[in-house]
Amino acid sequence: MEELFFSVFILFASILVAGLLFHLMKAPTILGYIAVGILLGSSVTGLFPDGPALDFMAEAGIILLLFMVGLEFSLTEFWSDKGKILKAGALQGFLVGLPVGSLVWCLGWGIAPAILLGASVAMSSTALSAKQLADHGELTTRHGRVAISVLVFQDLAAIPLLAMLAIWQSGGQPGPVEISLEILKVLAIFAVALVLARPVLRSLLMAIYRRGNSELLVLAALAIIAMAAQSAHLAGASAALGAFLAGLILGESDVRHRIEEDLRPFRDVFASIFFVSIGLQLDLSQLGSSPLAVLAWLLVLLPAKALLNFIALKISGSSARDALQTAVILAHGGEFGLLLLSGALTASLISTEMGQPLLLALVVSMGLGPILFRSSETIARNLCGGKSGMTNLPQREEVEVAREVRACINHIVFCGADNLARSAARAVRLAELDFVMIEPDLRLYLTAREEGLPVILGDPGRTATLEAARANVAAAIVITKPFSQRQNRIVDWFLEGNAHGKIVLLGTSQDRDETMHTDQRILQLDPELYLGMDLARLVLSAVDLPKNEIEKISCTLTSDAADHA
């Protein structure tokens, strides 16, 4: 027992240190967790041997990861972009996976290695790519939307691949009939869950949520995940598949965001252990014994995959520049590729000599992911920028927002369309003032559009979009979402580019940087202060204090708060 506690301490302490170091280096923390596995594994120190406890925690990480993928997956967004997702995703998977799989098959390594290796190479990291796109305000650009379409398809394709892996791990040989039966089994499980479980589970979670007990909501969600995983396992399908379907069913519920927020720490902790288990499987001796094999897989993953990505995306309808930029962004390995490959190695479906070099190459390529992202625009501009019709093509959101504002001057630009922004926008509309809203989230965009508000699906963090919205001649810009470094850049750009306009933002004094304290054009609403003021008015009115006394006290509190801000 003492050895177990010591091993757990070593594991979590190492994960903590690695996470902090890689965060400070602005590198993907996933690589830090894999590095922990390498250091603790038999190839380096041997402090943490693989075992049932670690296998269970890694499996829990996979289940929670797939549940969150299902929870974050929007059927509404998928249906609205189904053509693009299926076309771009299928072409990319086919053109990248088929050559690799065919080569493996021709070398006589078998159908299972051919499919698994081809799929592992075709996959890219959703976590890394989506974060890079979001941080740089490129989620709603043409290349950003194409990249997300491909990543969504890859996430969906991982489900049947995991189901096939489960069959191979049990000793079966899935042919066309077995694969068809597996797909039908998945559809049947989903149909039963959709018809029977969906209304019950959503009602149950809503009832718990209304009681205001977050602990019970977390326990209920974890119980649902475990039940779904066990049900899928009993039906002969992958437990991870059951978790994904549970997330998909609950993804459209009213408590989705609360569940997502409460379970994310669980997912992150157990997913970090999964990546540690990947590191434990890595054999660094392969770098010395088979360096050419590792290098060959890196050439397949980076330049060759980028080229095949480009061909696939160009065929799917993207311009040469957008296709090339997206191709470079996606030219790295992903977590589902690691999952498929590690499962194949554990089940001895792939020999160590075959799988270890690719596993190492996948990890290295993920480390190069941020570099690929930062260089993608330069590569696309240099290789395609000189071609006719390929220079400075405006993004769709820029065209739409420019059409919306036309020649507006002294209008108002809302950076977002959440509840607060829509309430303020309705007041602006009653005042008969010109305004436009820019919202990156499809659900909020659709809600605002249903309310008849002038809203554009785009990212207000992009300066090109703000320029198209004529924010440089706007009377005001409104920011209602919590402050971040990207939103600080919006403020800096507006203050520099607009000589007279004002900024209305929501946030506490701690959210501001020092330059905002002295700028008179920034009007900040502190939600905690004003909610507290409203509460104070209600309390004083409840004891029948005269209105003039209440207003006098409110003015005093407001003045004191301003002095201390």
Predicted confidence (pLDDT) per residue in 101-123, tens digit: 998 888 888 888 898 899 999 99
Complete edge-to-edge strand list for the sheet that includes strand 435-439: 455-457, 435-439, 412-415, 476-479, 502-506, 522-525
34-57 mean pLDDT: 75
Q: What is the C-alpha separation between 250 and 370, in angstroms, rounded?
A: 32
Helices (H), 368-441: 369-384, 396-405, 419-430
For the beta carbon of residue 272, count every other beta carbon within 10 angstroms.
25
C-alpha closest to that of 125 among 59, 56, 29: 29
Specify the CATH architecture of the domain 1-15+51-283+294-381.
Up-down Bundle (1.20)
Residue with tokens 């996976």: 97
- Fold: same for 1-15+51-283+294-381 and 396-563: no
What pLDDT score does 330 carry?
A: 93
518-535 mean pLDDT: 74
As a whole-number percent, the residues of the chain with pLDDT over 70 amount to 84
With a cut of 60, say whether residue 479 has pLDDT above it: yes
523-530 mean pLDDT: 73
Domain locations in the chain?
1-15+51-283+294-381, 396-563
- For 164-168, 272-276, 479-483, which range has the lowest pLDDT when averaged over its residues? 479-483
Rg of the chain (C-alpha set): 26
Q: What is the C-alpha separation between 332 and 104, in angstroms, rounded?
A: 20
488-515 mean pLDDT: 75
What pLDDT score does 403 carry?
A: 83
With a cut of 50, say whether residue 303 has pLDDT above it: yes
pLDDT grade for 538, boundaries at 50, 70 and 90: confident
With a cut of 80, say whether residue 448 has pLDDT above it: yes
What pLDDT score does 3 carry?
A: 67
What pLDDT score does 38 carry?
A: 84
Residue 504, helix vs strand vs coil? strand
Q: What is the C-alpha separation between 503 and 523, in angstroms, rounded?
A: 6
What pLDDT score does 76 carry?
A: 65
- Which of the pair, 502 or 485, is modelled with greater confidence? 502
What pLDDT score does 458 carry?
A: 84
**pLDDT tens across 140-153, in order?**
788 888 888 898 88
- Which of the pair, 228 or 174, is modelled with greater confidence? 228
**pLDDT tens across 363-421, in order?**
888 888 888 888 998 898 888 865 444 445 667 777 878 888 887 888 999 998 988 88
CATH of domain 396-563: 3.40.50.720
With a cut of 60, say whether residue 510 has pLDDT above it: no
What pLDDT score does 339 carry?
A: 84
Most confident option among 150-164, 166-180, 295-309, 531-545 = 295-309
- For 73-82, 146-155, 236-245, 261-270, which range has the lowest pLDDT when averaged over its residues? 73-82
- What is the rounded average pLDDT for all residues in the chain? 80
* Helices and strands (H and E) in the chain: how many: 27, 6
What pLDDT score does 388 carry?
A: 41
Judge contact between 290 and 353, C-beta under 8 A: yes
Angle, alpha carbons 325-331-337 (nearest 5°):
145
What pLDDT score does 389 carry?
A: 40
What pLDDT score does 175 carry?
A: 62
With a cut of 60, say whether residue 514 has pLDDT above it: no
What pLDDT score does 249 carry?
A: 75
Tokens of 127: 């976590």
- For 37-51, 197-211, 225-239, 509-523, which range has the lowest pLDDT when averaged over its residues? 509-523
**pLDDT tens across 328-369, in order?**
999 988 888 888 888 888 888 888 888 888 888 888 888 888
What pLDDT score does 453 carry?
A: 92
pLDDT grade for 517, boundaries at 50, 70 and 90: very low
273-293 mean pLDDT: 78
With a cut of 80, say whether residue 66 has pLDDT above it: no
What pLDDT score does 182 carry?
A: 65
Judge contact between 465 and 396, C-beta under 8 A: no
189-217 mean pLDDT: 74
- For 189-203, 241-255, 259-273, which range has the lowest pLDDT when averaged over its residues? 189-203
As a whole-number percent, the residues of the chain with pLDDT over 90 amount to 12
